[in-house]
Structure formats: structure tokens, C-alpha cells
A and B are shown apart, each in its own frame.
Chain A
């Protein structure tokens, strides 16, 4: 029995995380020797076309294979789409998973993102949503005290809102959602001192002098006990230059920036996201932020699949390749998981193949996941799909397996019991499933 249990059972500590929680969590984190210390999730919302990118089917008829040809990669036997030349050259850095899918249970934009990003298919009954991996890391294994643990770059869109924002661990474990590339972004400003440091120090001194009341029963209530801890952490974060420096991309050379921006299309059919989020993610990882998530535009290409492909895939190719290079050069790739995935694939059979707005519809039975670093194999392909890329034929795994593999690499037991605010015990990933052993070393 520990104090947390006492409070929880007592009904007082039903919500949130207190000082003691943090201390315990930090102790747990130092005790484990996880392969992955950090993680970047590049979310390709809407569902990128797997048969145009990482699961090509050149032997199918024209109304399936589309217009993009396969090219060889550094890994013998692995081919990718011709719009991914940089990723082809770096195929020895990552694993392509072709056999994890929601099987449409549930699929589609509304529910599949939650499934992928939490490892749980359903909403909990009568409670908020399951927590995303980053929120769990924030609760069980928070990062350095002067940095946020879970950062989401750019706005959370309607489809990932469920998975990323509210969850039953409480708002204390929600991500910092910010848009550092926008001058006026309030959250970025909130994380950067609005005063010069000496003035800030003067203010906090005054605060210390004035804030002397209500300090008698600190130890009795978890919320109250946490106040000082939160204040300390927040002020440390503001005083520390780490985050500010990480977000300041003016320090990057023009050459470095160009590696990310060079394939940015001047005009695009769908939202494309910001290539510099790859760079910011790398800088945040370098600074020590454990989990960074960003949504890279929109890949729901029902119409003009091939037009959009020419616009968005080359940018994705250049950016992800540069990110992998940078992390590897800095020795960070082996301890940082890098994921690129969306909630589904796209239908191998083309809609209106002869027309200019030929598109690919939803496909919830096959897709790709790029997984690099943090214990994922280098130069590896897991699973296979049938002749058309419609159904998984080899090494099928459920999303639960994918989620459990991430937790395994992050050194977190996916069977850890957490409690909903209504005090129902729930495992991080409810259903038991094997980890994807073929993908990890």
C-alpha cells in the first residue's frame, strides 16, 4: 500500500497527479532501462495511399497500380513509390509495417485515430477517453522537470481531438498544444517568460512574500499538496532557456532549413501541414522533450489522389529523411521512436481511374506504418498484403499489438492499471495481444 492508494481509495485523490505521484513516477522512470526514451509521431491524418508509397503493386492493372512506379531501395527486395527517393536511400534506417490494421473495427476518421493513438478501440463507458501514449508517459515517466513532457505542434484537428486532448487521466496529462511557427501563438508565449528574467525573479520573490497564508494543511489533500510542486515546475520551465532555444529555429542554417522546405509545394489540393514541424520535433527531442506529436496536413484523397501525391509525398519524403538523418547523426535515433502513419490506407482500386480527379477512397483493411528508432529494426519489412494490397496475408497484428509494442519499447507495462475518475480500474491497453516481435530488435 502506498499513499496514492490511500488517497485514491479514500476518494480524495480521484483526480490528477500530486507531488508524491511525481516523485514516485520519477523513481520508476529512473529504474527502468527502456530502449526508447523519446518518441515523435508524424500523423498523416485522413489515410495516406499505401499502394502509392510503401506497399506498391506494380503487377496489377492500371486501375489499381496508378501512375507511380516502384523504385529500389537500399534494402534488397524493398521497393517504394518513385516519389520517395530520399526514403529509398535510407531504407536501412527504418521498418515498414504492412500488416497492422484496424480491420474497420472501428475504422474511419472518427474512431480509428483514437484506436491507433491509444491502443484501445472503444471509448470507455461513462468516462472520458483513453489516454494517448504521450499522456501516459506524462503520468508514469515524465521527462526533465524544466520541459513539457508531451508536446503537440499545431492545432489538434477534429479527428485527432478525441485521442489527443481530453482523457481520463485528467487535464494535467493533456499535451501542450502549440504553434511555435506562428508569431501570435498564445501557448508558445505562455511557455516563454513575458518578463526579462531579473524582473521575473523580482516578481516571484514578491509572490513568495505575499503567498504565506493557507499553508497549514498541505499534506492532507493531494490537490493542495501538488500546488507548490506545479508552481516550482512551471517556474523552472519559464526560467530554463531549454525550451525557448529549442523553439527558436533562427539558429538553424539556411542549408539546414532547406532540407526540410525544399519540396514544399507552392500550391496544394489538400492541406499539407508544415515541413518545419519535422525540424521543430527534432529540436524538441534534442532538448529532451519525451513525446512530440504533429499532424502533417490531410491525406484523405478521394479526389485527385495523384495530384495530391505529387504535391505532398515529395515534401514528406524530404522531411522524414532529413529527420532520420539528423537524429542518427546526433546518436538519438536508437533511443527515439519515429512514427509516420495515418488512421487507414487508401483503396487500392482507383475511383474514376481515367479522369483527372482520379481518387482513392477509404481503406481500413491495409495500410503502412513507418517505424524507426527506439528499438525498431533498421531495414526491415513486417507483413505483406495480397496481390492488390487489399488484405493482409502475412503477420497480421491488431492495433493493440502495435500499442503494446510502443509501450514495450518505452519501458512501460501496457498492463499497468490506471483508474478512471469514477475509480474504475483499466489497463493502459485493455486487450491482451502479442507485441510485434518481427519489428523490434
Chain B
């Protein structure tokens, strides 16, 4: 605290009549007063920093507009906010201290450091000094990293270097926040207190500028680190950190746990009872590695990651108006394309390149493109041949044909999906916990503004004459066809139909006649003659039918051509020679930029008119020192297996959201790039680590850990995997009820491209937190992993779940019909649900339960009910 007192002492040395310049002898508006508005919480988004301010007084959020704030302070409210004659009666001080009722309560007390500073500034004339010398050059937080015992305290010091070269201790003007208050807390003055084991990021903010530091709190007492062998560098790094924290890693998990875990995590399925038995019987010391190898090349692995990428890339958001795009057509196509790339293990950078640089034509002629679109529409039929066709495309133009994929909003999606950045705050104001400002977002967005906005517009025909020519031609063709169809229907068709109708009557008559003659054993030749007439009549009917079908086919063709035309005209993903300037309009005003600049770079780039600016983005992403590209995917894959990112949340890659294991993340990124962005290398590396293969039961004293992988974290199965596991455990399937859209009969929940008609499936998916896959939400957190009473009720009592349990062709019934004793049947149920053999006690409890049930069938069904309602079934462990 002594440092603070010195500052106050300095502040109080202000000479009356001072100019209020940032000369160090009086509080400066720019350096001190605006900083206090942040520190005291005045200009936060839920207080006076709100769009319309609060109770008539508005400050810019995080002091984005200090001049405007000064204006409002000094001029509005009949200048009662500041009283230069009698500073103590200033509303700023009276409200701020709560002496006059204040919605925000008392923020500081009379006589406090803050009070004295604000008062001194008012007394000195409340002048707004020039911002130029007070622009921030550097913010330095010491100690950057500190080890503290629980209960131990230390002071964080913040020094700022300003544009005029002056350096000032501004600790008293900063906001401090601990990112993990279970590990350490920090008070208003910057005094840190160790709380519990772990390490926490400390966020420091001076005005709008954040800075970060870390504190590590080891477990007290002595601990003998067990003699564990790291499998690879992942373990070496994790163990090194655990040693520093004085925590032991858990034991390795047993084989059945490993098998269930990798199955659910790698292919999204439970192992079959047979797979469990085979794996347990295998005595090879390499069997885990072999299993990992097998699973990462299974189709289910591509399916599971297709699901993840479709979530991330919002793969079901299609169709606005008259653009011939739709969820039903296009979500399965986008899914098929992604799946094909993952199945062939396309290097991740190439995968992204083929998405990011996509165009519809891919350099082909318009005719070739028309042919492709035509085939896609024709393929939308049973068997969905269009899916394979679309999957063979080089680039994923559908990414740019989604709703909201253009402009600044689309840029935010790119930043989120491929760079792990959340930019939505920067649309309107400076990001409170990051460096991003509006111009960063806008300058970056300019690199995407040459991508044509997809969707119906009456200007399109004028703007794209090449497409318009085809559009016109196709529409004429469709019109021509419609004319032909009309003619067929009214002319020949009508005649044939009339003839057909008559012939049908004739057929009835002749049939009766022939039957009569045959019964009466009439004249053979007469019968033959009648038969001839009958056949002739049948031919007439068949001809009419054939003609009708031809007309129907033409009808379908005409409609299809019109759709093809619309898609070419309104939805082709192509580049414009010039984009509009990136622009945002929010409740805080409008802003636009003409500059092209990559995120985090200080210098703008120039883009010639003949170049796709997205190529620059791709080149930048591919640079080995790009701070986001490899990191974002490596960290997300890590989070998939370990329940949290090395940087967490995984889509918040920010210097102010520090990694728990920075060296590990770097090593993984380096390895990933060295291995040519091979996703399977990444999966294997993580899966083979001892850290992944350790037990979910913590070693003694390590239970408090949440962030350092001292044990395998429990997490709820994701919605789709859970439903597939339920189907597999009960030996049943779900018909998605999507025949109308030509979905195959057998499709797993993981493979579902959008919510199906099947009410039970859609209920489970919504209840268990499946993302919407639309552009409204940009956050990995959209996949809701939380628990709720709905989950318990679903598994315990949903009528469809009971049907599954009691299904005569289901698991319980089938097992019951097998030979073998009750004990071995119980084993089979255990293998099918929790993928392990029962303990003796469990077997006995089940035996007793079945013996006491009204029938063996009823007994088995209810044992199955119990097993699918255990934590072991619901959780990944």
C-alpha cells in the first residue's frame, strides 16, 4: 500500500492553477481520470458505458472516446457533474461515493485514493489534456509470473511507458482480475493472494489496454512424484507442470476403460461386446497403439470430425430467397465434401485452403459449371448421387453460399473457425479482454469483401452478364418446355387420355365377355378375336400412360432447369474486381475502412485488382509463425480429448487468455506443421500419450486439479454420440423419418446433417445441446455440455427409451434367447452398455434382481434400464 500513498501524495502536491497537462504534477485527464472510470467500473457496458448510458449520463465504453466523455462531463447536466468552485459537491464525487443515491451504489469512499485523485483533477480546472503524449507505448506488469503458497500475498506492479517517453507507475489506476479465483484472487490494489492449487492468469487493464501475468500455486506439503514413464513429449510437458504444482498424475487406466474411451472419442461409438472381449484377450504389449491406429482410419473417425467441422463451419445455414439453395439440398452436400476430405486425410492447411479460396467455377467454363449444377439437382433423388458428385469438387463453394457468410459477419466466422478468435465485441467497441479494435476487424474484413454476396438480387443480372446469358437461355428452355408440356397435355395427351379412358371401359367389357365365352366353351376363334381386341385396348392404355409419364418427366425437367438457372444467377460464389469497403453499423455509430490488413499485423497490405485477396490470408495462415492458424486446430483437437483447451475456452486465442502449458502447445504446433498439417499425426500423438490413457480417478491429493491433467476428466457424452450409444446398448435403431429428403434408412445420429423429423431424435439432440449450425452463434460453447433434469428424465422415463429396452428384437430379448447361464447373460449386458465385465458384487446384485422379477425378460430389461442410467454410461471417463 505504501506505493499507493506515494502516488496520492504526489497527486496532492498539485499547485492551484496548474494547466492540468500530463506533466506529472497534477492528475492528467488522459492518464489518470479516464483510467479511474474504468477501474471504478463507471464506463462498463452494463453501466454508463451502455449504448444509451445510464440515467442520462453516458461514458464511452472502456474510454474509447475520451474527448466525448470530457464533453459530457463538463457540459451536460447543467455542469453540475463537476463543480470547479467547490469540487466536493460535484455530482461525480457525490454519486460516485453514494452520498447522493446512485444506481451503481458507492464506488469509492470520501477520502479514498480515487476520491483524492478525482477531486484534485476537478480542483485543478477539470481540463482534458492532449492525448498525444499520453498514448500508451508499453504496459509492463511485474512479476510476470510468480509462485505463491495458499494464503501468501504479493503486490503486482504496473508500469506504463507513454509516447512522450515518460514512464509511470500506474498500479493504482488499473483493473485487476484473476481468471481463476479458485487458484488466486487479486484485489483492487493489485495484491494477489494464493488460494488453491493450480495456476491462474491475471488480467490487468489500464484504460482499454489489457496486459497479463500468471500466478502458480503449488500443493503444500511434500509429495513423492510417482515413477511414471512418459510415452511422448506430451507427457513430459504435463508431468513437468504437475511436478511444479506438487501433484501426482493418476495411474494408467485399465484396458476396458481405455477401449471404451478411445471408441467414444475417436469414432463416436461404443465398442461391441465382441470388440471388448477380443481386446481383453489380446496379450500384445502394443495392443493400445494398434487399436488407436485402427480407429483413426475407421470411417467413424471421419464421421465424428465431420460433425465437428460442420458445427464449426455452420454447415446447415442455407437459403434466403430465390437463390435455389436450401438446407435439405446443401447441408448434406457440404457434409459429404468435408467427410471426403477427412476420409482421405487431406492435410489441414490444404483442407482450409480449399474452403477459404473456394469459387463455384474453379476456373472452369460457364458451360462446365452449368453441367455440374444441373447434375447436382438431378442427383437430389433416392440414393443422393449429388453427394458423391459434390464431394469430388476441389473447393467447398458452399462455405461461401451459406447465409451470412459474406462481409464483416462472414469475416468473424472465418476468424472464429480458422483462427480461434472471437471478434464479435469488436464490431461495436474495443474488445474488453483483448487488443482487437474495430479497425482490426474492418481491415481484415476488406480481404473478404471481393467475394460476391450470395442471394437473390435484381441487380445480379446486370452485374454478371456471363451468368445472365445462361440464366436467360435456361429460363427460355424451361419456358419452351412448359409450352411443350402444355401442348402435350392439351393436345396429344388429352386425346390419348380420352382414348385410354375409353379403352379401359373396353377392357372391362372385353374381360367379362372373354370370361363368359370361356366358361361357355364358346367358339375358339371368337375368343381369339376378343383377345386381340383386348390386347389392342391394353396397348392404348399403356401408350397413354407412357405419354403421361413422359410429360411428367418433362415437367420435372422444366422445374429443375429453372432451379439451375436461379442457382447460377443468384448463388454462384465468385470474386468481384472490387469489393465495397468493409463497414459496420451498430448502435454506437458507423465506421468503415479502406485498408487491407491481416489480423495482428501493423502494416497494411496492397492487393492488385486481379488477385483474390483471400490468397494473402491463406499465405499468412501458412506462415509457420502464424500465431493462430495451427494453434486454433491443435488446441481444439486437444480440447476434444481432454475436455478443455490448453488455451481455454479453445476459441479464445488471446494473449490475455494464457495457455496452461505454453511449451506443450508450441511443441504440438511445431510437430503438426513439421508433419505437414497431418491431423492423424495429431490425433495419434495425443491418444498415445500416457496423459490421455490415465485413469479418471485422481492420485491422492490431486483431486483438486481442474486444469493440469492430473487425471482424465469426466465429461458428458455429446448429444449425437450419446444417442448412438443408447441405440447400440439397447440393440435398436432410429428411423430418422427423412425419406422425403432421400436420407438413407440407416444413418447414425453422428451423421445427421440437420435436425430430422423423428421427434425423439430431435428432442434428444436439442435437449443434450446440439449446436444449431447457423451463423447466429459464433462460439464453441454453443455445444452445451451441461447437465439438466431433462437428461435424467429422458434416459429414465422417455417412452421411446422404454420401447428400446423392451424391443423384442433388442439387446435384452436377444441376450435372453442365447444359451448360457444367467451370469454370462449379465456379462453380455455389461459389455454392451458399460463395455466391461461386472464385478462379482454387481453380478450378484443383478442375479438377485432378476430372480425377484416377475419374469426373466422383465428382469433383464430392468437391469438394462439401470445400466443405461448409470454415470458410467452417461459420461466419458
A residues adjacent to B (C-beta < 8 A): 1, 5-7, 9-12, 14-17, 123, 125-128, 148, 165-166, 170-172, 174, 176, 186-187, 189-194, 199, 202-203, 206-207, 209-211, 213-217, 220-224, 226-227, 230-231, 233-235, 237-238, 415, 417, 421-422, 424-427, 430-432
Contact A238 B714 (CB under 8 A): no
> Known: A9-B181, A10-B180. Contact between A186 and B788, CB under 8 A?
no
Contact A214 B782 (CB under 8 A): no
The number of chain B residues with a CB under 8 A from chain A is: 84
Cross-interface CB contact of A171 among B412, B703, B769, B872, cutoff 8 Å = B769
Alpha-carbon separation in the docked complex, A123 to B706 (Å): 33
Contact A211 B872 (CB under 8 A): yes
**Measured between C-beta atoms, what is the minimum distance from B869 to chain A in Å?**
5
Interface residues of B in 675-722 (CB under 8 A from A): 696-698, 703-707, 711, 713-716
Interface flags for B567-600 (1: CB within 8 Å of A; 0: not) read: 0000000000000000000000000000000000
**Measured between C-beta atoms, what is the minimum distance from A301 to chain B in Å?**
26
Contact B802 A425 (CB under 8 A): no
Interface residues of B in 41-58 (CB under 8 A from A): 45-46, 50, 52, 54-55
Interface flags for B762-788 (1: CB within 8 Å of A; 0: not) read: 010011110010001111011011111
- Count of chain A to chain B residue pairs whose CB atoms are closer than 8 Å in the complex: 212
**Measured between C-beta atoms, what is the minimum distance from B339 to chain A in Å?**
27
Cross-interface CB contact of A214 among B179, B649, B871, cutoff 8 Å = B871
> Which of B17-25, B70-78, B330-338, B858-866 sits within the interface?
B858-866
15 new A-B contacts at CB < 8 Å, known A5-B181, A194-B799: A128-B782, A171-B769, A186-B760, A186-B763, A186-B798, A186-B799, A203-B866, A207-B866, A207-B870, A211-B871, A217-B698, A220-B706, A224-B714, A238-B793, A432-B52
> Known: A210-B845, A214-B872. Contact between A15 and B784, CB under 8 A?
yes
**Interchain residue pairs with CB less than 8 A apart (7):** A126-B424, A193-B797, A194-B802, A214-B714, A220-B703, A221-B713, A426-B46
* B341 CB–A CB distance under 8 Å: no
What residue of chain B has the Cβ atom nearest to residue A216's Cβ? B697
What residue of chain B has the Cβ atom nearest to residue A8's Cβ? B181
Contact B777 A128 (CB under 8 A): yes
Cross-interface CB contact of A126 among B177, B179, B777, cutoff 8 Å = B777
**Measured between C-beta atoms, what is the minimum distance from B772 to chain A in Å?**
7
Alpha-carbon separation in the docked complex, A10 to B55 (Å): 33
* B504 CB–A CB distance under 8 Å: no
* B790 CB–A CB distance under 8 Å: yes
Contact A223 B871 (CB under 8 A): no
Alpha-carbon separation in the docked complex, A220 to B182 (Å): 11
**Residues of the B chain whose Cβ atoms lie less than 8 Å from the Cβ of A6:** 180-182
**Residues of the A chain whose Cβ atoms lie less than 8 Å from the Cβ of B182:** 6-7, 10
Alpha-carbon separation in the docked complex, A69 to B865 (Å): 62
Contact B781 A15 (CB under 8 A): yes
* B107 CB–A CB distance under 8 Å: no
Top-6 shortest CB links A-B: A16-B786, A172-B788, A126-B424, A421-B781, A234-B792, A15-B786
> Known: A7-B182, A11-B179. Contact between A206 and B849, CB under 8 A?
yes
Contact A171 B802 (CB under 8 A): no
Alpha-carbon separation in the docked complex, A309 to B782 (Å): 43
What residue of chain A has the Cβ atom nearest to residue B779's Cβ? A422
**Measured between C-beta atoms, what is the minimum distance from B369 to chain A in Å?**
34
**Residues of the A chain whose Cβ atoms lie less than 8 Å from the Cβ of B792:** 230-231, 233-235
* B877 CB–A CB distance under 8 Å: yes
**Measured between C-beta atoms, what is the minimum distance from A276 to chain B in Å?**
22
Contact B179 A213 (CB under 8 A): no
Contact A220 B704 (CB under 8 A): yes
Cross-interface CB contact of B776 among A123, A227, A233, cutoff 8 Å = A123
Alpha-carbon separation in the docked complex, A233 to B714 (Å): 22
**Residues of the A chain whose Cβ atoms lie less than 8 Å from the Cβ of B703:** 216-217, 220
Contact B797 A125 (CB under 8 A): no
Contact A10 B800 (CB under 8 A): no
What residue of chain B has the Cβ atom nearest to residue A238's Cβ? B797
**Residues of the A chain whose Cβ atoms lie less than 8 Å from the Cβ of B778:** 126
**Residues of the B chain whose Cβ atoms lie less than 8 Å from the Cβ of A425:** 45-46
Cross-interface CB contact of A190 among B428, B798, B871, cutoff 8 Å = B798
Contact B866 A230 (CB under 8 A): no
Interface residues of B in 73-111 (CB under 8 A from A): none
> Known: A11-B179, A210-B867. Contact between A172 and B862, CB under 8 A?
no
